[in-house]
Structure 1
Amino acid sequence: MPTEMTIFNETILPGESKTINMQIAKLHSMTDIEIPIIVERSKVAGPTVLLSAGLHGDEINGTEIVRQIIVNKINKPKSGTVICMPIINIFGFLNQTREFPDGRDLNRVFPGSKEGSLASRFAYYILKEIIPHVDYAIDFHAGGAQRFNAPQIRIVPNNEELKKLSDVFGAPFTLYSNNISGSFRSSCDEMGAKMLLFEGGKSIDINEAVIVEALEGTKRFLSHLKMLQKKHVCSQPNDTIYIKKSDWIRAPFSGMFHGLKTIGSYVEKGELIATISDPFGKVEHKVKAPHKGYLINVNDAPVIYQGDAIFHISTILEE
C-alpha cells in the first residue's frame, strides 16, 4: 500500500478518514452536484477495496447497503483502505431513473471519454481517479423495473480467484456471467481490479432481507482480506449455488400477473408458477415451468404484456 493516496487532488494518508466530493457537472439550474467518496485508511498496510452502488440511479437498495456499511463502521478497516461510493449516478438518483440526463446508461459507456457525453465523462473520471488505487471491488445492483433479483453474485467464468471470493461472500446464488462491453465491471477487470457484482432486490425499493445478505457477505469478504475489525462478527456463508446457464421465461399473454412462486424457489418441469388473467373475470392462463431449475428473478409487476420477462430460471448448475 503506498504511503499516499491522491483522489481528485485530495491526499489521504494512512490512518486518515476523508470525504472527497467529486464534482463533474452542475444541474441545469447551475446548482452544484457533489458525489461523496468516503475513504477510510488504516495505518496498517493492506489492499484497497471499493464498495460502490447507484451506478443506475433507481437501484436504491444498493445505495442503502453501502449506507449501512458506513453507519455500522464496517468500512473502517483493520488494514488497508476502504473506499465507499453509495451513489455514483447522482443525477439518476435525484430523478429516480436508471439513466443519466443525456439518456445514456452509465454501465454501457465505460471507459468513457474526457470530452464525451455527461455519462461518458463520469465513467472517464471514475476510472482515472479511483480505480488505479483499487485491488478489489463489490458493486451493488438491483433488478430493473419490477423484476426482483434473488441475492446473487455475478462473476466471469474460469476465474479461480473470483470464484474463491464468491465462495467467501457466500450469497445464495452465483451466476457465471461474461463481462459486457462498456460495463464498469469490464473496465475494472481490464485495469486489474477484481470485482464481484452483487444483485439483489428491485429498483425503487429497499428490501431488508437482501440488505442483510449483502452486509454479511461484505463482512466475510473483508475478513478474508484481513481488513475487518474484530468487533464485527461474521456469520457462516451460504453454500452458494453456482449457475452456469439460465433463461428468461416470458409472458405468453398480456394481462394481470399473479406469480405463485417465491424468489429462490426450485421448481420442476410442468409445475404451475403463475397465472395471467384478464381484468373482467373471463380468462385465466396458466404458466408452467418449461424445465426444472431455480427461480432467481421474479417479476413483481401487477400488469404485464405479452413477451415481458416474468421469471429468470437456471438451466445448468455447476456440479
Structure 2
Amino acid sequence: MANHKDITILKETVKPGESKTINLEIARLHTMTRLKIPIIVERSKVDGPVVLFTAGLHGDEINGVEIVRQLIVRKINKPKIGTIICIPIINVFGFVNKSREFPDGRDLNRVFPGSKSGSLASRFAYYLLKEVIPHVDYCVDFHAGGASRFNAPQIRIVPGNGELKQLSDVFNAPFTLYSKNISGSFRSSCDKLGVKMLLFEGGKSLDINDEVTQEGVNGAKRFLKHFDMLSPKKKAKEPGMPTIYIEKSGWIRARHSGLFQNKAIAGQFVEKGEVIACITDPFGKFEQKVKAPNSGYIINANDAPIVFQGDAIFHISQ
C-alpha cells in the first residue's frame, strides 16, 4: 500500500482530513448541456488505504448507484483512517438515457484502457484510469443484471488469487463466482494496474431492489471494517452463512418462444429435473415445462414476461 499524502485528481488536491467533490467533465450533450461526473473524496487525517466504490458503469444498472448513494448519505464513506472515493455514476450519459451504452453506442466496460483522443466512451475510460485509479488500492464496482435478468447478489473474482478470495470472504455476499477478466473491462485494467477489485452483481437493470441494496451496503461496511476504515459510529453487520463459491456454471436457454412464467427465484437451490419455469403460447396450443438440467443454485433468473427461442432464462451452478 502506497503512502498517500496529497491526492490530486484533475488538478484538484485533497489533503488528509479534507472532503471534496471533484467534477469530471469531458464532454457535453448535443444540446451543449454540461454533464459532470461527481467524484466524492473523503479523507481521514490518519494515513491508510484508499478504497474506491463505483457504480453506473452501465447507465441502466441503477441498483449499484443506489448502493453507493447509501454509502454517502449514511456517511459510511467517512473513513476512520485512509481515504474513501465514491463515484456513484460513471456512465452519466447512459444514466440520463436509461441505457446501458454511451451515446456513441459503445459499452464502456469493453473499451478500457481507453484513449485520450478516441471515442467518447474511450475518453472516459482513459481519464478514469489516468486521474483516479493511480491513487487507489482497492475497488468495489457495483453492477446489476441486464435485459430483465435478475442476479442473485454475488461477488465475481478471478480464480487463483488468494487476496481477492480473502476479500470476498470479508464482503460475504451470498455467492462468489470465479470468472476470468474480460479484455477491455474496467476490472481487467484495474488488475493490470495493481488495484484489487471485487465486482458486485445484484438485481436487474432499471430496477432497485432493497434486499440487493442492503447486501451491497453491508458487504461494503464489512470490507471497510477489515481495513479498520469503518467509522466507530457505524456498525458492520456480522456475516451469516459464509459465501457460497461457484467455480462452474451454465446458462439454460429457452427452447421455444412464448409467454414465460418463472417458478424459481434467483438464489434458490433447485434439484435436477425440478420444474423451474413454463413457456406457453398465447393461444393455449402448447405448454413447455423447463426443468433444471442439474442440481444447483439459480444465480440469475429472467424476469421477462415474454422470451424468444434461445434467450438465456436461468444461470445455474454446476
TM-score where L is the length of structure 1: 0.98
Take 1:99 and 1:186, find their aligned partners in 2: how far apart are those partners?
19
Deviation at 1:263, TM superposition (A): 1.3
Amino acid at match of 1:296: I
Take 2:115 and 2:121, find their aligned partners in 1: how far apart are those partners?
9
Identify which range, 278-287 or 195-204, moves more after superposition: 278-287
Output one character per residue of 1:97-143: Cα deviation in whole Å (capped at 9) or x when no partner: 00001000000000000010000000000000000000000000000
Task: Give the SS at the match of 1:78.
Answer: coil
Task: Give the SS at the match of 1:130.
Answer: helix
Counterpart in the other structure of 1:25:
27
Amino acid at match of 2:292: A
Counterpart in the other structure of 1:252:
255
Output one character per residue of 1:192-222: Cα deviation in whole Å (capped at 9) or x when no partner: 1000000000000000000000000000000
Task: Give the SS at the match of 2:248.
Answer: strand
* Moved >3 Å (runs of 4+): none
Take 2:201 and 2:207, find their aligned partners in 1: how far apart are those partners?
13
- Summarize the alignment of residues 109-124 of structure 1 with structure 2, pairs less than 5 Å apart: 109-124=111-126
Q: Which runs of 5+ in 1 are unaligned?
A: none
Give yes or no for the alignment of 1:133 onto 2:135: yes
Deviation at 1:268, TM superposition (A): 1.2
Output one character per residue of 1:45-97: Cα deviation in whole Å (capped at 9) or x when no partner: 10000000000000000001000000000000000000000000000000000
Take 1:296 and 1:2, find their aligned partners in 2: how far apart are those partners?
39
Counterpart in the other structure of 2:202:
200
Amino acid at match of 2:57: L
Identify which range, 227-236 or 131-140, moves more after superposition: 227-236
1:44 to 37, 43, 46: 46
1:285 to 281, 285, 288: 288
Q: Which runs of 5+ in 2 are unaligned?
A: none
Amino acid at match of 1:158: G
Deviation at 1:261, TM superposition (A): 1.0
- Summarize the alignment of residues 3-152 of structure 1 with structure 2, pairs less than 5 Å apart: 3-152=5-154
Amino acid at match of 1:93: F
Amino acid at match of 1:20: I
Take 2:5 and 2:194, find their aligned partners in 1: how far apart are those partners?
20
Amino acid at match of 2:302: N
- Aligned alpha-carbon RMSD (Å): 0.6
Take 1:89 and 1:175, find their aligned partners in 2: how far apart are those partners?
25
Amino acid at match of 2:12: E
- Summarize the alignment of residues 229-308 of structure 1 with structure 2, pairs less than 5 Å apart: 229-237=231-239, 238-308=241-311
Counterpart in the other structure of 1:227:
229
Identity %: 71
Counterpart in the other structure of 2:186:
184
Task: Give the SS at the match of 1:120.
Answer: helix
Take 2:116 and 2:280, find their aligned partners in 1: how far apart are those partners?
51
Deviation at 1:3, TM superposition (A): 1.7
Deviation at 1:2, TM superposition (A): 2.4
Task: Give the SS at the match of 1:114.
Answer: coil
